[in-house]
Amino acid sequence: MDHFEYRDRKLFCEDVPVSELAETYGTPLYVYSEKVLVQKLKEIQTAFAPANPTICYSVKANGNVSICRLMGQHGAGFDVTSGGEFFRALKAGPAGSKIVFAGVGKTDAEIRYALDQGVFLFDVESEQELLTIGEIAKSMGRKAAVALRVNPDLPPKTHVKTDTSVKGVKFGLDIETVVDVARGVVGHPGLAVVGLHMHLGSPILKVEPYKQGCAKGITLIKALRELGHDIRYLNMGGGFGINYRKDEAQPASAFAAVILPAVKEIGCQLVLEPGRFIVGNAAILVSRVVFTKSTGGKHYVIQDAAMNDLIRPTLYGSFHRLWPVQPAADVPVEPDVNGDPDDPNPFRAMANCFNQDVVGPVCESGDFLAKDRPLPTLKRGDLLATFSAGAYGMAMASNYNSRLRAAEVLVTGSTHRLIRRRETFKDLVACEEDCLT
Ligand SMILES: *Cc1c(COP(=O)(O)O)cnc(C)c1O
């Protein structure tokens, strides 16, 4: 899978054996492929090139400064959802990088900070927020460029916790109210309403929702222009799905095929905010088996990565492919899994495999990376790779159970370097130490 491949039953990231990385840097370890990161960004840039788009890498998916910097070096702007992500984007991006700022709860301080730092667009999610941004900008003698984020009210398209465009979710303005809200700020001295934004949810494996969203967007942009707002940007957000199983994802060109005609029709500059699509398949999480045990008819593999390192299985019931870094000679080199994202049991029979739960050391029954997963016999010290772990993996990592967050390594060809060092016990208490009396 994309520069993570088995050669002679040894998993490589680009030209580096993963086992070597585990020896050098320890486990749990996030291993990123620079080639995949750049290729996936390029894939979007190429597919949407006819629209000369502004591609804003979504920092939320993975905010590592070195990864953001790589994105900036290859021409991306940034999509941020907090002051902290804004800070990361500034640290990573070349001067003048375009930064779009979304989120339902921007504080006054964050709004001021963004204006001070030359935010490209605020994606505005409520009428109160719009008026607040207007007031703050006016008080600073500025005009804030905003895109109104609409909730286009489309049928469910992904996990309920990450579907952001069904009626009643907290995101965006109700589609019925956008025009009224926009009417209220015509001629506002602190606001330039220059765009329409939507982010449909994530991950989305079909193009149809984008087609429907674009159609609704076109109607709205026409109405906003009639009010006198100079709408120049259509921001279609992120959400493009990736391969967690096999080959279920659409290429960027498939999304472009439905989005580009809309952009052309309405005569806007296109903005996109891809996160997962770029970084999701660009990393694996490497862990080491600590113990195995069987109880109550179940077989457990206890390894040193846990829900604090990768919470997606626990939080969303997400599926990640998982396989030994060096599979034995009598088992398949890779798991035989079909790519149907809706199949609850996507495995074909595999030689010398039996169902096991892969769990971590955290004190929660919900701490697992995989459940009832056909895997070969594993033993203490074996290395495991959890695939497609680049997005919403390290970004959501925590210190729960006072576990140290993992290290991150970036591989380029046959070279590799640390892009985040492993935390230490000292780091763990750093914010408390000064407060001790
Ligand atoms: C999370 C988010 C994104 C990125 O979503 P991906 O699925 O990672 O592409 C883009 N825009 C907004 C507003 C978001 O909240």
Position 109 in a domain: yes
How remote is the CA of residue 275 from the centroid of ligand 1, in Å?
6
Position 274 in a domain: yes
Position 437 in a domain: no
Decide whether any atom of ligand 1 lies within 6 Å of the 238 Cβ: yes
| End-of-domain residue from the set 253, 279, 305 | 279
Written as one letter, the residue type at 236 is M
Tokens at residue 12, please?
């490589």
pTM passes above 0.95: yes
Q: Taking the CA of residue 37 as centre, how many other CA atoms within 13 Å lie in the half-sphere pointing to its CB?
A: 31
- Residue 148: predicted pLDDT: 98
| Dihedral sign, Cα of residue 393, residue 166, residue 245, residue 358 | positive
pLDDT tops 90 at residue 345: no
173 and 284 in one domain?
no
Position 244 in a domain: yes
Position 375 in a domain: yes
169 and 73 in one domain?
yes
28 and 39 in one domain?
no
| DSSP sequence for 188-232 | -TTEEEEEEE---BS-B--SHHHHHHHHHHHHHHHHHHHTT----
| Whole-angstrom distance, CA of residue 23 vs CA of residue 219 | 57
CATH number at residue 170: 3.20.20.10
- Residue 136: predicted pLDDT: 98
pLDDT band of residue 180 (cuts 50, 70, 90) is very high
| End-of-domain residue from the set 242, 261, 279 | 279
418 and 406 in one domain?
yes
91 and 80 in one domain?
yes
| Whole-angstrom distance, CA of residue 188 vs CA of residue 145 | 12
Position 418 in a domain: yes
Decide whether any atom of ligand 1 lies within 6 Å of the 125 Cβ: no
| Dihedral sign, Cα of residue 37, residue 42, residue 48, residue 49 | positive
26 and 174 in one domain?
no
361 and 326 in one domain?
yes
65 and 207 in one domain?
yes
Q: Report the domain count for the chain.
A: 2
| End-of-domain residue from the set 279, 311, 326 | 279
382 and 249 in one domain?
no
123 and 21 in one domain?
no
CATH number at residue 357: 2.40.37.10
Of 273, 150, 274, 283, which Cα lies nearest the Cα of 212? 150
Position 41 in a domain: yes
- How confident is the model over 12-49, as pLDDT tens digits? 999 999 999 999 999 999 999 999 999 999 999 999 99
92 and 26 in one domain?
no
Q: Which atom of ligand 1 is nearest to the CA of 277?
A: 9
| Whole-angstrom distance, CA of residue 174 vs CA of residue 42 | 34
CA 307 to chain centre: 17
Share of the chain above pLDDT 90, in %: 90
Domain containing 353: what range? 4-32+280-432
Q: Which atom of ligand 1 is nearest to the CA of 279?
A: 8
CA 422 to chain centre: 22
Of 46, 72, 40, which Cα lies nearest the Cα of 59? 72
365 and 240 in one domain?
no
| Whole-angstrom distance, CA of residue 96 vs CA of residue 218 | 29
Q: Would you call the peptide bond into 203 cis, given omega within 30 degrees of 0 as the criterion?
A: yes
- How confident is the model over 90-109, as pLDDT tens digits? 999 888 889 999 999 999 99
How remote is the CA of residue 290 from the centroid of ligand 1, in Å?
35
353 catalytic, yes or no? no
Share of the chain above pLDDT 70, in %: 100
As a whole number, mean pLDDT of residues 349-371 equals: 96
